[in-house]
Structure 1
Amino acid sequence: MQRRTLLSAAPAALALGTLPRLAAAQEKKSLAFIVNVSADFWTICKRGIEKANREHPEFAMEMIVPGQASAAEQRRIVDELLARRVAGIAISPINPANSTEMLNRVAAQSILFTSDSDAPASNRMVYIGTDNVAAGREAGKQMKRALPQGGKAMLFVGTMDADNARERVQGIREELQGSEIGIVDIRTDESDIARAKRNVEDVLARYADINLLVGLWAYNTPQIYQAVKGAGREGRVKIVGFDEDALTLRGVADGTIESTVVQQPYEFGYQSMIGMVKVLAGDKSFIPASKQIIIPTRIIDKSNVADFQKSMRDLLRGA
């Protein structure tokens, strides 16, 4: 995520609207969206939150980015929000399996939604986001398109503790069954951008016969793109990614990246905030029996990347 694509992170929690601002808006009920890592993906989500706030100015709606991408930092932010009696929290939990107690404390004191990555074992009211198994299958299809004769692939992601990572890998493995594509390994980086790039560089150095690199989180594909170009392996090593980082889209446009599976983070933000407003008004009718509201994905490749780049530039500018 070149510095342009990383939102600057403070040592403590960084809020695109900050925690003190939440406290200052005591006359309004506060709704917070806690993300997992700093990226343009979440800037797009913030635009959806801003739209919801324009429609409901009686609320103070905020996005909060952890200064460190860790479950412990998310827990600290949650504790501060609950102390301020926030009315609702939407969260992309970094380690849902080990965060159930924390999430259930939120659910006991306010509205709890999950987004982007689910925590179905918790008492969350609803998940709003991607069906990540289905998204993984879509990525698997793109991998087969990139390597019709088969080959060796390596996957890269922040952590396999997150449900969205595990589910994407599950979907990829399901789609690749019976194909000639083999997954050599999955490299994790704990949301450390420099380490993410080093992981790719190490794979390129160690595996002369690697054919395909796949980035599963928003910042992984840009690091793959830069490392492949730095090694002069464009064309010889195929790339398939997730999400719509500016470097990822540049790579799709110049042919270095085959395609990327994009989500709709704008809808994550907008629907999460609108949903919490409805619940506070006593309306839960929009929540399905499954407790999941699935936002569909899209495939961006060279055929449609130019139009998509324009739409992303407009969103990032707040147009």
Structure 2
Amino acid sequence: MRISATVLAPAALVAALVAGVTGCGSSGSPGSSGGGSSAGGDVKLGMSVSTLNNPYFVQFRDGAQAQAAKLGAALTVTDAQNDASQQVNQVQNFTSQSMKAIIINPVDSDAAAPAVKAADRSSIPVIAADRGVNGAEVAQTVASDNVAGGRMAAQQLAKAMGSAGKVVVLQGTPGTSASRDRGQGFAEGIKAFTGIQVVARQPADFDRTKGLDVMTNLLQSHPDLTGVFAENDEMALGAIKALGAKAGGQVKVVGFDGTPDGLKAVQAGTMTATIAQQPKLLGQQAVDAAVKAAKGQTIPKTVAVPVKVATKANVSEFGTS
């Protein structure tokens, strides 16, 4: 219809204005970070984070945004809110917007594959951050060595328990490589301690409230447990709340991530240890790789960000703010 030309021009103008407003991040759309884009920059990047309702991933985002600003790249961040379908839509939108590179922190390592493949068909490099993508090729995976971290957690928990007792494992979100790898490392590590029995493994989806609920239920069936391994600090903090006065004394708790709240719990003695990651550094390295890939530079297929054991003896080295 001929009239469409006169209608589309102002519509396009409105769309451009809306894009400009949301890019400034004053309010954001559902699923956005509320801090959407870095200003300016010739290299436009999209980043979908599994959830920003987790202090670890807030630090990850902050590191990414700081690195984008440093490199003069425009970074748009979206929050998938732990919804794999929503994340697929976000990555597809980045692809249709012709982003120069995409960073994905998968909600589900398997479910992310189709959207990553679509980006690849459009010649848009994808960086997987903190968690891998199964069944699709990515330009780089930047993550902590979660298997090694799981082994370190097992050794630390066994040491605190005197190499004997009953342990429960609070697992992360099913389908994530982080949960799988941390669980694998812990299982491998704990085998060396024949006096320790793992009496239950149950998902709590990396969530503090769910950690509290799951731990409360597990205490009913295993009142004599003496150890807890939680695959992230949020679940560990929920477990500590459920354990009450037992936490850190009768029941030793080891977490994973090294979040500010987790480190404070280690300092207080309610959490025996946490395997501390470096989420800001991870975010920085993901953006650095994305910019290089967008410019056609060669980057390594994997980058491992070191993890360390944080205990009460050395927690001051990590900072708790």
Structure 1 position 76 matched with structure 2 position 94:
no
Identify if the C-alpha distance between structure 1 residues 178 and 17 changes in structure 2 by more than 3 Å, giving closer, same or farther.
same
| Match of residue 313, structure 2, among 299, 303, 307 | 303
Q: Provide the secondary structure at the position in 2 that maps to 1:309.
A: coil
Matched, 1:53 2:68: yes
Which structure would you say has the larger Rg?
2
- Structure 1 equivalent of residue 166 of structure 2: 152
Question: Match for residue 243 of structure 2?
Answer: 228
Answer yes or no: is 1:104 the counterpart of 2:117: yes
Match of 1:14?
A: 32
In 1, Cα distance between the equivalents of 2:92 and 2:315? 41
Which runs of no fewer than 5 residues in structure 2 stay unpaired?
A: 1-27
Tell me the alpha carbon deviations over residues 199-221 of structure 1, each in whole angstroms, 9 at most, x when there is no partner: 11111233111111111024212
- SS state at 1:303 partner: coil
Contact 1:69 1:191 in 2 (8 A): no
Deviation, 1:79, is 2.2
- Structural mapping, 1:250-261, within 5 Å: 250-261=264-275
Q: Closer, same or farther in 2 for the Cα pair 1:99/1:267, shift >3 Å? A: same
SS across alignment from 1:17: strand
Equivalent-residue separation in structure 1 for 2:59 and 2:276 (angstroms): 12
Q: Between Structure 1 and Structure 2, how many residues are aligned?
A: 291
Q: What CA distance in whole angstroms lies between the structure 1 residues aligned with 2:273 and 2:289?
A: 32
Structure 1 residues 262 and 16, CA, compared in 2 at 3 Å: closer, same or farther?
farther
- Cα offset, 1:193, TM superposition: 4.1
2:98 alignment partner, SS class: coil
Per-residue deviation at 1:71? Answer: 1.0
Structure 1, unaligned stretches of length 5 or more? 1-9, 314-319
Match of 1:4 in 2: none
Shift of the alpha carbon at 1:226?
Answer: 1.9
Alignment CA distance shift 1:281-1:103 (3 Å): closer
Deviation, 1:27, is 7.3
1:75-134 superposed Cα distances (whole Å, 9 cap, x missing partner) = 121122222222211112122223322221122221101111112531111100112111
The one-letter code sitting in structure 2 at the alignment partner of 1:133 is: V
Which deviates the most, 117-126 or 168-177?
117-126
In 2, the alpha carbon distance for the partners of 1:29 and 1:11 equals: 22
Q: Which residue of 2 aligns with 1:3?
A: none
- Are the counterparts in 2 of residues 240 and 260 from structure 1 also a CA contact under 8 Å? yes
Q: Pick closer, same or farther for the CA change 1:254–1:297 going to 2, 3 Å.
A: same
Which residue of the other structure, out of 92, 105, 114, is the alignment partner of 2:105?
Answer: 92
- What code does the residue aligned with 2:308 have? R
Provide the TM-score with structure 2 as the length reference: 0.83
Q: Secondary structure at the match of 1:205?
A: helix
2:229 is the counterpart of 1:202: no
Give the TM-score normalised by the residue count of structure 1: 0.84
Q: Which amino acid aligns with 1:257?
A: M
- Matching of residue 216 in structure 1 with residue 234 in structure 2: no
Counterpart of 2:33, as a letter, is A
User: Root-mean-square deviation (CA), in Å?
Assistant: 2.2
- Alpha-carbon distance change, 276 to 300 in structure 1, aligned in 2, over 3 angstroms: same
2:191 paired residue number: 177
Report % sequence identity: 22
What secondary structure does 2:127 align onto? strand
Considering Cα pairs closer than 8 Å and 6+ residues apart, tell me whether 1 or 2 has the greater RCO: 1
| Deviation at residue 72 of structure 1 after TM alignment | 1.1
Correspondence 1:41 to 2:59: no
The CA deviation at 1:169 is 0.9
